[in-house]
Structure 1
């Protein structure tokens, strides 16, 4: 295999799309990890600090980047990054690549793979071992994702829809969504009255809660006791789903009671039983 085809095969295998990374070479001389050597270089015309056009190449800096595993083997990219120096201001800079963030050692593909794994029921230790990173790195990804998905408690919609659902370990949880946009407002692990009240009282001001004019819910008497306390301007609305569900349940109970009045051998019994 010539050097060009080997470079292309390595690029496809490791999902390295940056064309500025060249001279890829795989070394399998050690048992612990696959080592991939490459060079990152490109032409830099303007200094990022002083904007002068007096930039020259000034050697290389070698960095070690953790890539996603291949066939359960750890993969380390040993990358020679081009160093630049500006003759005008004297400052230096290093070539950058979308493969890995500036001053990071974990590739973007590895970070995305860790993010996908976080939805699984696994320990941080097992995830860290799989991707050859520390548990602190996994913990930092959890914190970073948490900040990205943290809701902004700066207002409430006019229509709130509330309900309960069965979540983990057969536990009943509480959910609230925007009645117009269908966006999730919050999901609480429990459905206790005090837990729900404390969430809205601690996260939303009275002015925010007064914006709610409709609360759509089922006929759960528990929620009716504190809805007006939390949302003083809201009207309670029973959603259509629970109304239809109640009607079907009542109709089915009536059908069964009527069916039991007939002998099992009669046509009336089998007609009522079939429907």
Structure 2
């Protein structure tokens, strides 16, 4: 499809894409039904000259077609937005290994854009439930939980060590707790949570 440089530049500015290897054709924007819901779909292509093989290191790599992937973006005006990205496939004639082109815009083997993950992570720092965050970004609550696990590290517990000054507080637990009440242990000097 014919590439329109003006449209390509505009779409990249709208989606905040700085990767010059991603290009958009003339008819890049459409409305489609995705997962039984109308969505705005941007169709693009990720391609660059053949790199060295990531498996054996030889430069006997050739272009080997395209693999399409659906990347979920930040919703725009409460409408799901996707990037239908055709990623260049590569084939190594030396070791017969195949691999896809990569971009900073989305992690490998992931369907969420980095911008969407960062937005979810920022909202996780606020006093908002995971369910509300999931509804806001049109993802599942489990996806929000996975983003939480990938961005935030759990405090490492030291069972052989207790802080010099210990704070203990009781609070009402969630429905999945065995008892109605839970308690939290924290270090009084640093304020860091020790255990829940």
TM-score range, shorter chain: 0.7 to 0.9
TM-score of the two chains, using structure 2 as the length reference: 0.75
Kept in 2: contact 1:61–1:80 (CA 8 A): yes
Kept in 2: contact 1:34–1:73 (CA 8 A): yes
Secondary structure of residue in 2 paired with 1:137: helix
Per the alignment, residue 77 of structure 1 pairs with 83
Match of 1:115 among 110, 117, 121: 121
Deviation at 1:125, TM superposition (A): 2.9
Deviation at 1:155, TM superposition (A): 8.2
> Is the aligned partner of 1:186 residue 2:189?
no
Deviation at 1:115, TM superposition (A): 1.1
| Larger relative contact order, structure 1 or 2 (CA cutoff 8 Å, min sep 6) | 2
Aligned pairs (5 A) from 1:189-200: none
Specify whether residues 153 and 174 from structure 1 end up closer, same or farther in structure 2 by C-alpha distance, changes over 3 A only.
closer
For 2:65 and 2:195, how far apart are their aligned partners in 1? 55
Deviation at 1:175, TM superposition (A): 4.5
Question: Larger C-alpha radius of gyration, 1 or 2?
Answer: 1
Q: Name the one with the larger strand percent.
A: 2
For 1:51 and 1:188, how far apart are their aligned partners in 2? 47
Match of 2:69 among 63, 74, 77: 63
Q: Deviations over 1:49-84 (max 9, x none)?
A: 111110000000000000111222211000000000
Match of 1:46 among 52, 55, 67: 52
Specify whether residues 56 and 160 from structure 1 end up closer, same or farther in structure 2 by C-alpha distance, changes over 3 A only.
same
Kept in 1: contact 2:155–2:194 (CA 8 A): no
Specify whether residues 160 and 14 from structure 1 end up closer, same or farther in structure 2 by C-alpha distance, changes over 3 A only.
farther
Per the alignment, residue 178 of structure 2 pairs with none
Kept in 2: contact 1:177–1:186 (CA 8 A): no
Aligned pairs (5 A) from 1:257-272: none
Specify whether residues 154 and 29 from structure 1 end up closer, same or farther in structure 2 by C-alpha distance, changes over 3 A only.
closer
For 1:187 and 1:154, how far apart are their aligned partners in 2? 10
For 1:122 and 1:184, how far apart are their aligned partners in 2? 22
Kept in 2: contact 1:66–1:132 (CA 8 A): no
Q: Deviations over 1:163-189 (max 9, x none)?
A: 789x99xxxx875255xxxx5432677
Per the alignment, residue 40 of structure 2 pairs with 34
Per the alignment, residue 112 of structure 2 pairs with 106
Aligned pairs (5 A) from 1:150-229: 150-151=155-156, 153=158, 175-176=186-187, 183-186=190-193
For 1:90 and 1:188, how far apart are their aligned partners in 2? 50
